[in-house]
Structures are given as C-alpha cells and as structure tokens.
Amino acid sequence: MSLRVTSIAIFSLLAALSIYFVFQLKFTFDFEQFFPQGDPDLEFFLEFREKFEPDDNFMFVAVRREQGIFEQQFLDNLHDLTLQCRDLESVNRSVSITTTKFPIKLPIGGFTAVNAVNRSKPEGYARDSIRLVEDERLAGKLISKDGKTAVVFMKTVDKIQQEPAEKLIADLDALMANYNFESYHYLGRANFQKEIVRMQKRELIVSAVVSGILVMLIMFLIFRRPASILISLVSIGLGMLLFMGLLAATGRELNAMSALYPVLMIIVGTSDVVHIMSKYIDELGRGKSREAAITVTIKEIGLATLYTSLTTAIGFATLMTSRVPPIKDFGLNAAVGVMVAYVTVLFFTTALLTYFDREQLIATKSNIFKWDKWMNNFYLFTKTYPRQIMWGGAGLLVFCLLGISMISTNYQLTSNMPMGEKITEDFAFFEKEFSGFRPFEVAISITNDTLEANDYEIVKEIDKLENHLRSYPAIQSPTSITMIYKSLNQASSGNRKAYYKMPESKAKFMQYRKLAERFPASANVLVSKDKKHTRIAGSVLDIGADNIGLISDSIDHFIATEIDPTLISCKQTGTGVIIDKNSQYVRNSIIRGLGMAILIVSLLMALLFRNFKMVFISLVPNVLPLLLAGAILGYLGIQLEAGISIVFAVIFGIAVDDTIHFLSKYRISRSKGMDMETALHITFVETGKAICLTTVILFFGFLVMLFSIHPPSITVGLLISATLISAVFGDLLFIPVLIRWLMPEE
C-alpha cells in the first residue's frame, strides 16, 4: 500500500516540475540543421562561405499589378517600400528596379550611372518596360519576364535567428499594410523560419489533441468503463508530459520533426497500458486478488514490456547513425521517450490499477470478449493452411522487392512545404515568375600564382563556364564578375542589348578594369579580398535532387574537359548542393541503421529466448513490414527523403514489440509444462488479443497524422499505419508456422 502511494506521489511531483519546464520549450528551424555533418563538401562550403557572404541571407518581396508595373503610382509606392525596408531591423540593404542604376558612357568621355527606370517620366515607361524585361541583369531577379511583378530585394544579416526573423516578418507585414498593392509574396530565410516554426507548433498541438480524443474513443470501445478510460488517459498524458518536460529541462529544442512526439508517446504509452491492463483484467477474472493480479502482471508483462521498450528504443536509436542532426536528435529523443513511457506505465499505471476491481475496468458486454473466438479461428487457420501461408509470404516478398527497386530519391523542397499555406503559395509563385529559392554556387579558385580574379585570362575562362551554365533551363540567372565587364561594354556601345557581352579584346578589357574595381565585386560579394577566389552565383529551380544531380554531373564533366586547370579550379557548392546530399546519406543511413538494429535486437532475442531458432523466427515477421514500407514508397512514387526515412526505424521499433509479447507468452506457457499446440493456443487467446488491440490503436493513432498540413508527416502516418497491420498479420500467421516447422516436438 505504501509503495503505490509513494509511486503516485513521486510521479505527481515529477508532473508538477514538468509543467514548469514545458512552458520553456523552444522551437527552431534552420536549413543548416539538415546539413550532413562530417561531409567533406560541407567542410568546403563552410570554408567557401568564410570568403564570401552566405547564399541564403536574403529576403524577397514581390508586388504584382496585373496591368503591368509601369504605372507612376505603383512605381512610387515600390520606391518608397524599397527605402522603408532599409530601416527594418536585420536588413543591411534593399534594392528594386527604382533604385537600380546602370553605367552609361558620356559623350565627353568617361562613365556615369543612370536610373534603370525614370519614375518621373511616364512617357518613357513603354520603352523602359521593353528594355528591362529583356535585360538579363534584372529579368527574373527584380522584374518578372511578363512585366507584371516587381521585387524588392533585401540583404539580411547573416544566419538570422528565430526571434529576429519573426520580428522582421512582423515589421514587414505592418509595412505592407501601408500600401494598396494588388498582391504580394515573400521568399527568404526569415520567412521560412517564421512559418515553419508556426507549423511545428500547430502540428504539435493538433496531433496531441486529436490523438488524445482518439485514445479516449478506442478505450471506450474496448473496455466500456470510465475508470479504464481515465487510467489510460492519465497514464499516457503523464508519460507525454514527463517526456516534454525532460526535453525542456535538458535544453533540447523542438525542430521540424517534433510533431511526431505526441503521436509517438501516445501510441507507445497506449500499447504498454493495453498490455498491462489486459493482463491485469485476465488475472482478476481468474479470481486473484488485486495485489496478486498486479504481481503476476508485472512479473509476466512487465518484463516482456521492458524488452519491447528496449527494442523500440533501439529502433529509434539507430537514427543516431544519421549525419543529419534533426534525424539524429529525433532518434535520441524518441528512444528516451519510449523508456519514459515504459517507466510511467510500470510504476504509475500499475499502482493506479490496484485501486480498481475487474467490474470497474471492463464491461461484461465489452467487445474484448469476442476476441477469444476470433483468435481461436486464427490459431486454427495457421494449423490448417501452413503451406499456403508460406507461399503467400514468398509472393509478398517478390512484390516488395519489385516495389523497392522503384524507390525514387528525387527530393523536392515543395514536398516539405505545408499544404494550403501562404508560404507554399509564395514559394510556387517565385518558382514560376522568378528564379526560385534554391541557391546555386560555383566556387572558383585561381590556380595560376601570377594571376588574379579580375585578370583577362581568368574572366574569359569564367565566362566560358557561365555561358555553359546558361544552357541548362533549370539554372536561373547565373551571375559572376563577368557582369561588370559586360555592363561596361554595353554602356560603351550606346547601351544596346547586343553588346552585353565580354569585350572582344584584351586591350578593351584593360580599359574597363579600373572602372570595374569601383563595383561591389571587390567588396567580398563576387571576389574575395585576396582576389584569388571568385564565384558564380545563381539559383536552380526545384526540379528534384536526382534531376539536379544529373545536371551537376554534366557540369562537372564540362569543367573537367573544357576548363583550363592551370588557370582556375571549379567546384559546385552552396546550400542547395549540401541539402541534396541528404538523399545519398538517407539511403546509406537506413541500411546501416537497420542493420545495426537487427543485430542488436537479435542479441536481445538470443538473451531472452536462449535459442537461435527463436531469433530467426522473431526476425522474419518484422523484416516483411520494412520491405512493404519500401514497396509502398516505390509503387506510389513517393520520394525518399530525410523526414520519411524515419518510417523504417519506427516500424521496426514498434513491430518487434508484438513479436516479443507473443513469443514471451509462448515461452512462459511452455515453461509451465504445456505442449506446443496448447501453448500456441493459449498465446493466441491471451497475447494475440492484446496484440490486435494495440495494433488497432497504433493504426488509428498514426492515422492522426492525416490531420497534418506537412506532406512528409502524412506519408509517415499512412506508411506506418499500413505496415503495422502487416506486422500483426506476420506475427499471427508466420510465427506459429515457423515454430511448428523449426521447433517440432520430439
């Protein structure tokens, strides 16, 4: 009696502490979180970024006028907006077509700068509009090619953090309210951070609330008693509260994958509660006292649940082998969460259960009693049709292998964008009307000790590569130091479009060189301070990681065969390139992580059952759901990316739970002197019932993720729900057949 009071008191105190810490939880999002740690290309990129400014410290505001932007009031508003943006915190500078100037040669010699568009002379708008939409320095950057949208480009502080990002967007929203633009769109790091964190908070709350309602309904349908529902909700809610409090207390930040935590904790906790409660009710039904019933429950189910929790935790912990920090963090946090749920159920729920009798926990007409008949039929089916079951398994294996061969890793940024949200609409708008979001960079180093980045031979070689890049439709607006010399050449030739090209002779180039040094390229934008490094900067459309990989390979081939290595060395880099490498690491980490999980789980099974045949028997039904998940990805054409890769760890970690419960009950029954068939029958009726109940809860629990607005979360929910159904069928069909085949009685 004193132990259960002490247990409840301790958990009540921990709950109070957790409530305090939960309010200190922090949410974060940063594309750099998804950089694969330890990658040599990442190290190169970080060194490259030290020489230049980052490629993602920008913010775009696109304003649209369907009749065309060349109208005086619109241009005046655009100009005022551009100037006002310069006063915003975290903004270093802002430009638009109304503040852009072009060089022009004076009749008396020398150059001056003139406005790209003269706002005060509407009579020149028609001429200006034609000229600007055809100017590659502006078209697709500051003005759309149809002339109906203009952009204010802001250079923000490097590595803008969450709070400054949210303030910048709030101030920008307030500023935009002062104008009557027909429509406007945002694109930039600050907006992504603000909107993705908002989505994370929404996902966390929705998944917790919907999952709680679902558990309450399922517990009512199973047990039909308020006491059972209350015990379940309090136990599961307490486990989730303690877990979230622990995350906050240890300074862990919630990232893009945190929306899975409530679903995970509710599902894992519910599984543990159902197994414990079902066994306790069964023991009370055999006439045992509360104390005796809970003792047997802890002894038989507590140990099995410990093993299931350990294997589930191991499944999640394999994600720590990933090079992608959010996945690594999710693996660690989820593994800890599983053990928190186990400790809560083992000590708190069992203490709470001893206050209730069988009649208080389950209604006499509950559907749970029908499971005995269904499980008996299942048992007879496995005994009657073993050959058909194994042939069916072989057919499923072939089906899965074919599907797996079709898996695509052609990851797109849009696949991670929240559905129905303005940020997604804005992203699509910029993809269609402008150059898109994904940065594209080529790092160029001067290999000739006697030359610098602004020497004729070097600039000509860069121009050769830049012209090649323009041959790829997906690569938008590549810009380099050549832009300065092309602009001066155009200005020297009456500002005619046909002369926007490199000077035809070295002599002409040298005439422009002193003028070129006045341009920002020397200020660490396009050329490093030591003039030994330069860059080609642009963007690439969101056509998918695999497609971009093909373009990248083609560019590398051009560099290897056409670029003079005695002048320059070139290497593709940038944020987009680094994130795309996740596809490769995702595939490798899945194989490595699952291999490690299977090895560790095999060792645990060997320790638990002391029989290697049982190890094999336990693994077969748990490998098939993994293969099925891969097949579904392949057949449905779902791209395998970082967020979806966790599916395999979740499936393996949870599916193996039921196997351990089934085999543990079989072993206990055999240790009591039962023959093989009797032990299998008892296992079906008792543990098979709990397995099916928990699978029903798991199935609907993960379907909660259909309420998400995050596409990968929806995919994760569907995949796990579908494959866990296959896992329970694997346990109930294959395990009995394999036991009879591999371990027949003498």
Q: How many structural domains does the chain have?
A: 3
pLDDT at 259: 66
Rg (CA), the chain: 32
In a domain, 38, yes or no: no
In a domain, 202, yes or no: no
- Which residue in the block uniquely carries the two structure tokens 């307490």? 238
* pLDDT tens digits for range 378-400: 888 988 998 999 999 899 889 98
Rounded (to 5) percent helix, strand, coil in the chain: 65, 10, 25
CA angle centred on 376, ends 374 and 377, rounded to 5°: 65
587, 640 contact by CB (below 8 A): yes
pLDDT at 521: 45
Chain-centroid distance, C-alpha 275: 32
In a domain, 292, yes or no: yes
DSSP 124: G
Q: Mean pLDDT score of the chain, rounded to an integer?
A: 83
188, 60 contact by CB (below 8 A): yes
- Which residue in the block uniquely carries the two structure tokens 């004076």? 106
Domain that holds residue 491: 432-573
In a domain, 207, yes or no: no
In a domain, 8, yes or no: no
Stretch 429-449: mean pLDDT: 86
Q: Which of 93-102, 360-369, 572-581 has the lowest mean pLDDT?
A: 360-369
DSSP per-residue codes, 692-724: HHHHHHHHHHHHGGGG-S-HHHHHHHHHHHHHH
* Residue 96 C-beta-side C-alpha neighbours within 13 Å: 27
Instruction: Indicate whether 522 pLDDT > 50.
Output: no
In a domain, 558, yes or no: yes
Q: Say whether both 703 and 669 belong to one domain.
A: yes
Q: Say whether both 146 and 76 belong to one domain.
A: yes
pLDDT at 181: 92
376, 688 contact by CB (below 8 A): no
Q: Say whether both 397 and 318 belong to one domain.
A: yes
Neighbouring CB atoms inside 10 A of 540's CB total 26
347, 7 contact by CB (below 8 A): yes
- At 457, which helix (H) or strand (E)? helix 456-469
Q: Say whether both 480 and 587 belong to one domain.
A: no
Instruction: Indicate whether 122 pLDDT > 90.
Output: no
Label residue 587 by pLDDT band (50, 70, 90).
low
Instruction: Indicate whether 33 pLDDT > 50.
Output: yes
pLDDT at 585: 66
Instruction: Return the structure tokens found at 382.
Output: 């496995």
Which of 517, 552, 573 is the last residue before a domain boundary?
Answer: 573
pLDDT at 98: 92
Stretch 192-215: mean pLDDT: 80
Instruction: Indicate whether 464 pLDDT > 80.
Output: yes
Instruction: Return the structure tokens found at 49.
Output: 């970024």
Instruction: Indicate whether 675 pLDDT > 80.
Output: yes
Instruction: Indicate whether 605 pLDDT > 80.
Output: no
Q: Say whether both 268 and 351 belong to one domain.
A: yes
- Which residue in the block uniquely carries the two structure tokens 């967007």? 169
* Residue 510 C-beta-side C-alpha neighbours within 13 Å: 4
In a domain, 479, yes or no: yes
Q: Which of 37-41, 75-79, 130-134, 347-351 has the lowest mean pLDDT?
A: 37-41
pLDDT at 363: 63
In whole angstroms, give the CA distance from residue 420 to residue 334.
29
Q: Say whether both 567 and 664 belong to one domain.
A: no
pLDDT at 746: 43
Which of 540, 573, 606 is the last residue before a domain boundary?
Answer: 573
Q: Say whether both 149 and 267 belong to one domain.
A: no
3-class DSSP assignment, residue 192:
helix
Label residue 686 by pLDDT band (50, 70, 90).
confident
Which of 573, 595, 623 is the last residue before a domain boundary?
Answer: 573
Instruction: Indicate whether 523 pLDDT > 50.
Output: no
Q: Say whether both 614 and 520 belong to one domain.
A: no
pTM of the full predicted structure? 0.74
pLDDT at 468: 94
Stretch 406-427: mean pLDDT: 80
Distances (CA, A) of 274 to 218, 271, 281, 368: 11, 5, 10, 12
Q: Say whether both 589 and 684 belong to one domain.
A: yes
Q: Say whether both 451 and 358 belong to one domain.
A: no
Give the highest mean pLDDT range of 71-85, 432-446, 568-582, 720-734. Answer: 71-85
Give the highest mean pLDDT range of 83-97, 266-280, 285-299. Answer: 83-97
Neighbouring CB atoms inside 10 A of 106's CB total 9
> 3-state secondary structure string, 607-674?
HHHCCHHHHHHHHHHHHHHHHHHHHHHHHHCCECCHHHHHHHHHHHHHHHHHHHHHHHHHHHHHHCCC
Instruction: Indicate whether 427 pLDDT > 80.
Output: yes
